[in-house]
Amino acid sequence: MFVELLMFFATFLISYYLYLHYKIHDFFRKRDVKFVPGIPLFGNMFQTFISKKHFWEDVDAVYRAFPDEKYVGFIEGTVPAIIIREPTLIKAITVKDFDHFVNHRDFFNRDIVPLLASSLIQMHDDRWRDMRVTLSPAFTGSKIKQMLPFMTEISKNLVDYIKEHPSNESNVDDLVRRYTVDVIASAGFGLEVNSVKDRDNEFFRMAANLFNFNYKQKIMHFVTAQCPIISKISNVKLFSQETMDFFKNTVQDTINYREKNNVVRPDMIHLLMEATKGTLKDSGNEKDNVGFAATEEGLKSRNVTREWSANEITSQVFIFFAAGFESSAGVITMCIHELALNPKIQEKLYQELRDYKEEHKTLTYENLSKLKYLDAIVSETLRKWSVAIFMDRVCSKPYVLPPPREGGKPCQIRPGDIVYNMVNSIHMDEKYYPNPEVFDPDRFSDKNIADIKPTTYMPFGIGPRNCIGSRFALIELKVLVTDLVLNFKILKSKNTSDPIRLLQGDFNIKAVGGTYVKFEART
């Protein structure tokens, strides 16, 4: 009897997914949208699932399959999505017609990962608008400026550690993640942590647990994304309860202590406490120049005051941590890797930084705009190694896309349909960036920057749903790169991969084999 039931269940699942598979194909055929037929259950992501390709490579293969189309079909597991290839269409969806595409796709079930599901990234409609307006004053230049001293102190800790531990080879992935953890611990949670000395501190250990996905967790994430009902019934947990409880308790204990003892520290928890009470005000239309990649806030308040729960505040600090740790670490690591592979670029940067230091002594928020070559290097790193991959949007109002090609027919987008506005594939498209594999900061020089076509450079997204923390990320990156280049020559070592290839089977930006370099002290 058990065998018969098992066979019936297996037959039912196979039949269901075959039905779903061909239903997805019909989704594109009926709309006259070209697509690459997928593998049942895995869609166009099979190579990622079996760790043969990075996720972006699977997406990019579909992007490049139809070079003359404005948009094409992509099958993410059992979910159909329309990849938008045309920059003018991307701008229409993310800016001009934003009200039709306000929300992100729900990548995390609220019951399975409540901290992520209640964060700004996963909030919907008016609730998202109100939280975004509430938080925006905390991410202005004047507020991020107050966190610069935290970053410089932590960067100094890392430089001192490298000097005290000379080696023929350093693991940049590890060093940079310790830097980003310490920055978030200080600027986000108000905690003083030195992860290069106290290597097994609880904060770093919990952060590492959060993002160190094993194969079992990858399967679990796939299940939660593709089969939310099954994952809910089976009580699948993507992250350990210990890790979730640690961050939740850390935030709430810190808030309770500060309220009880009237403690004020210019960090993210303090700013969020002010924001949720309505006492944090925008500084006005302040203009700064922390980098070409920085985004601008384009959302206006609805003049609605909400009460935010302790769990919702915790979720915002948590997502600030998650983005600031792994995403920032990936970009910083790739920047250091590229500098090791391009010594002439590194030397030119050193000359700019040395001249700056002779004139200004220390790095200040106001003077960042003077380091133009540093910004060009950062901008080029974000072009070539953006963590965004695409800007996902879910249709909330009926929408009509223009024909995908000359002679084609318009495409009806219905509420619930998903579009992926491409980022990395456009950044690496020869049509917009000649020789895209070449690391060339001069693309972002004063002479050439005007030639960059609108909506072909989007490392932090565009429109009202862009990355709220772009300034923080840029400063965090520039502080460390400045200190490293001023103090060391960053050289290739025996394990420095050249060229850089993305780690297969991953969603994060990491090099195959990791990033290893030699730090040689400058004299």
Q: Is residue 54 within 8 Å of residue 48, measured between CB atoms? A: yes
Residue, of 463 and 114, whose pLDDT is higher:
463
Tokens representing 478?
Answer: 């520039």
Measured N-to-C along each axis, helices 148-164 and 470-487 cross at an angle, to the nearest 10 degrees, of 30
**C-alpha closest to that of 342 among 389, 388, 376:** 376
User: Looking at this protein, which amino acid is placed at residue 184?
Assistant: I
- What's the pLDDT score for residue 170? 97
Sequence-separated (6 or more) residues with CB below 8 Å from residue 355: none
| For residue 45, pLDDT beyond 80 | yes
Residue of 484 and 10 predicted with greater confidence? 484
Per-residue pLDDT band at 431 (split at 50, 70, 90): very high
pLDDT at 367: 87
Angle CA(251)–CA(510)–CA(436) in degrees, nearest 5? 125
| Position 99 pLDDT exceeds 80 | yes
- Name the residue among 125, 133, 119 with its Cα closest to residue 103: 125
Nearest to 56 by CA among 426, 441, 465: 426
pLDDT at site 11? 59
What is the mean predicted confidence (pLDDT) over 9-30?
70
In the prediction, which pLDDT does 244 show?
A: 81
Quick: pLDDT tens for 219-256. Answer: 666 666 656 555 565 555 667 778 888 888 888 888 88
Answer for the pair 420, 82: CB distance below 8 angstroms, yes or no: yes
**Distance in angstroms (rounded) separating the CA atoms of residues 163 and 250:** 32
H or E segment and range at residue 420: strand 418-422
pLDDT band at 283 (very low <50, low <70, confident <90, very high): low
CA distance 300 to 98: 13
Residue 180 CB-half CA count within 13 A: 28
The model's pTM is 0.91
Structure-token pair, residue 267: 């960090």
Residue 139 has pLDDT above 90, yes or no: no
Query: Residue 6's pLDDT is what?
Result: 60
Each residue of 306-343: pLDDT tens digit?
A: 777 777 878 888 888 877 788 899 999 999 999 999 99
Give CA–CA dist 267/140, Å, rounded. 13
Task: Go through the chain and tell me how many residues it has.
Answer: 523
Token code pair at residue 291: 């980098």
Angle between helices 343-360 and 372-384 (to 10 degrees): 140
d(CA 506, CA 98): 30
Yes or no: is domain 118-388+423-521 CATH 3.90.1170.50? Answer: no
Band of residue 2 on the pLDDT scale cut at 50, 70, 90: low
Question: What is the distance between the alpha carbons of residues 382 and 513, in angstroms, rounded to a whole number?
Answer: 21
pLDDT band at 53 (very low <50, low <70, confident <90, very high): very high
Alpha-carbon distance 240 to 246, whole Å? 10
Spacing of C-alpha 389 from chain mean position: 8
Mean pLDDT score of the chain: 87
By mean pLDDT, which of 205-209, 406-410, 478-482 is the weakest? Answer: 205-209
Local confidence band at 57 (pLDDT 50, 70, 90 cut-offs):
very high
Distances (CA, A) of 294 to 111, 455, 470: 34, 14, 5
Mean of pLDDT values over 183-211: 87
- The response to whether 395 counts as a known ligand-binding position is no
CA distance 196 to 173: 13
Going by the DSSP 8-state scheme, the letter that residue 502 receives in this structure is B
The answer to whether 505 touches 472, Cβ cutoff 8 Å, is no
15-24, 69-78, 100-109, 239-248 — which is least confidently predicted? Answer: 15-24
> Is the alpha carbon torsion for 119, 120, 124, 130 positive or negative?
positive
- 177/89 Cα distance (integer angstroms): 36
- pLDDT score of 392 more than 90: yes
Binned at pLDDT 50, 70 and 90, residue 218 comes out as low
**Which whole number is the average pLDDT over 112-133?**
84
